Structure 1
Amino acid sequence: MTKRIDFGKTASDYAQHREGFPPALLSRLKPYAIGQSGQSILDLGTGTGTLARQFALQGALVSGLDIAAELIDQAKLLDRQAGTQVNYHIGSAEKLPFADQSMDVISAGQCWHWFEAGKVAYECYRVLKPGGALVICHFDWLPLVGNMVELTESLILKHNPNWSMGGGSGLYPSWLSDVALEGFQNLETFSFDCNIPYSHDRWRGRIRASAGISASLSSVQVDAFDEELQAALASRFANDPMPVPHRVWALIARKAWS
């Protein structure tokens, strides 16, 4: 039986250890007129608000939506620390609590794979203003031969054989069909790679905050995994912090003007 994924169980680690999208993503979205001051932006699957907060700091009027109240509580705390504000809502992306043609931009960061894509794409099209943009973006660690990501993924599978999200390339071409089928136009994608430094402790926290560990295993199982990962990192990867390779991928799609 597939375990239910509940990120609320790992809200603390999620807030402390999951890196948000790098600032370079916001820079690369500027030529698409996304993230501008005064824009109305809805961030789906907002989690702890890592993407929503970056838009808000640029002067956008941001709403964030997530099904996990525990993550939104963490997002509000992080917003206060950053000196900004996002208007958060608890709810489902498949049935958005927003009026027709009310948003300039809708973003979906690190969450599209959890959605019923057809329903969410339909709702995004409904809520966007004519000419508005849907931005789907993802930020993946890269399991390269012999690196700490490959090791980590092997340990996740050892402790959670039901986990099915390993071995990824960080590229999602099928998502173009998801949005095209609902009428979105002018589809464009881009990607870029970067190294994110993680200490051993923060990497362990990052992995605890993943779908395959704290979001789906018991606390006893999480502790057993964490101890084994700590030992493996100490014995095989002496550098601390470690450079962890990541890939950012983004899809931009437009609602028709008429």
Structure 2
Amino acid sequence: MTARFNQTHPTPGPDLRPEFGLTAADYARHRAGFPAELVRRLQGHGIGLPGQRVLDLGTGTGSLARLFARAGAGVTGVDRAGELLAQAAELDVREGVRIDYRRAAAEDTGLPGASYDVVTAGQCWHWFDAPRAVREIARLLRPGGHAVIAHFDMLPLPGNVVEATERLIRSLNPDWTLYGSTGLYPRWLTDLATGGFTGIETLSFDVEVVYTQEAWRGRMRASAGVGASLPPEGVAAFDAELARILRDHFPDDPLRVPHRTWAVLAAAPGTERS
């Protein structure tokens, strides 16, 4: 196993965030986006319908935002990392959608209040100051609007490639804590309820994502525990060791990687129950 590197970049914590701008190219090229089925299921709840105004917080390279745009919604995406927004805009051109991107924090977007039918946060809520983000979402939503917090997580099952890859990340980055996910986030329900949101419910479904070995390496370089927080020599060491692990223990190409899609949806404060 490759030796550990000293942690010199920001790590996950209450005041420090990984620098995802450092991973923008790998993030855009290799990171699997949310499945379209998520928006189809949300539409059954009146969320993401054609003509609705949707704001996607922590949009990254626009994975979730593009799904809503393809469904006919008018979409704005917000993110702190300008490098990710630049990648998002390029992907939009390739896919023939138009999204309005703004560089801002989820907790203080600077956007006008009561302007959106839906406010979403995909794969990013754990990086936010939750109480402030909830207040900002409540401010941004129109009466009767909805908040959606969604995740699309790879599942580390015993003996699979996710478990082996996470073990490697932890050996190089002992401060990394986002391993062993079940893809379920009950605390987010409490965050929304504390902020006055009502009608809270969840949905989830599992899918397999197919990665070539090269794409899997790129996907994992783009993760918070690797490219967004290790120094360049640490990323290189990780990539070389992961290539060896894949060659020796997971020779199938492509790989079939289990993922769980999960979302919590909630009505804006003051919305009357039907």
Structure 2 Cα separation of the partners of residues 17 and 160 of structure 1: 21
* Structure 1: unaligned runs, 5 residues or longer: none
**Could you tell me how far 1:112 is from its partner in structure 2?**
0.3
TM-score, normalised with respect to structure 2: 0.92
Q: Which residue of 2 aligns with 1:127?
A: 140
Structure 2 Cα separation of the partners of residues 223 and 44 of structure 1: 31
Amino acid at match of 2:68: F
**Could you tell me how far 1:178 is from its partner in structure 2?**
0.4
Q: Which residue of 1 aligns with 2:271?
A: 257
Structure 1 Cα separation of the partners of residues 8 and 53 of structure 2: 38
1:176 aligns with 2:195: no
Q: Which residue of 2 aligns with 1:240?
A: 253
**Could you tell me how far 1:59 is from its partner in structure 2?**
1.2
**Could you tell me how far 1:162 is from its partner in structure 2?**
0.9
Q: Name the SS for the 1:235 alignment partner.
A: helix
Amino acid at match of 2:271: W
Q: Name the SS for the 2:44 alignment partner.
A: helix
Equivalent residue runs for 1:1-258 within 5 Å: 3-4=9-10, 5-255=18-268, 256-257=270-271
User: What are the superposed Cα offsets for residues 69-102 of structure 1, whole Å, 9 maximum, x if unpaired?
Assistant: 0000000000001111100000001112111211
Q: Name the SS for the 1:32 alignment partner.
A: coil
Structure 2 Cα separation of the partners of residues 213 and 136 of structure 1: 24
Q: Name the SS for the 1:70 alignment partner.
A: helix
Q: Name the SS for the 1:105 alignment partner.
A: strand
Amino acid at match of 2:44: P
Amino acid at match of 1:133: H
Amino acid at match of 1:33: G
How many residues get paired? 258
Amino acid at match of 1:237: F
Amino acid at match of 2:243: Q
Q: Name the SS for the 1:162 alignment partner.
A: coil
Structure 2 Cα separation of the partners of residues 3 and 74 of structure 1: 22
Q: Name the SS for the 1:194 alignment partner.
A: strand
Amino acid at match of 1:252: L
User: What are the superposed Cα offsets for residues 110-163 of structure 1, whole Å, 9 maximum, x if unpaired?
Assistant: 000000000000110111011100000001110000000000000000111111
User: What are the superposed Cα offsets for residues 40-89 of structure 1, whole Å, 9 maximum, x if unpaired?
Assistant: 00000000001101111111110000000000000000000111110000
Identity %: 51
Structure 1 contact 2–162 (Cα < 8 Å) conserved: no
**Could you tell me how far 1:3 is from its partner in structure 2?**
3.7
* Structure 2: unaligned runs, 5 residues or longer: 1-6, 11-17
User: What are the superposed Cα offsets for residues 161-209 of structure 1, whole Å, 9 maximum, x if unpaired?
Assistant: 1111101111000111101111100000011111111111000000000
**Could you tell me how far 1:2 is from its partner in structure 2?**
7.8
Structure 2 contact 26–222 (Cα < 8 Å) conserved: yes
